[in-house]
Amino acid sequence: LHHRHDEAPEHHLPINLQAAIVKARDYYNRLDLSPAYYAATILHPRLKNYCD
């Protein structure tokens, strides 16, 4: 959608937040699908405490 700034829908923030929550939940649920996702998360220096 292409809206001018002054014509942008008022509800764009809740829609985008909901999309971000769905995407984050999808990535979090992938940890259960394969030990490789869990291992990659643990081995990443920034994320090593994410699964604690």
Backbone angles phi, psi at 51, to 5 degrees: -95, 5
- Percent of the chain predicted with pLDDT > 90: 13
Distance CA 13, CA 19 (A): 10
pTM for the model: 0.49
| pLDDT mean over 21-49 | 81
Q: Could you report the per-residue pLDDT of 9-34, keeping only the tens digit for each?
A: 677 788 889 999 999 898 888 877 88
CA distance 28 to 49: 14
- Please give the span between the terminal C-alpha atoms of the chain, in angstroms, as a whole number: 41
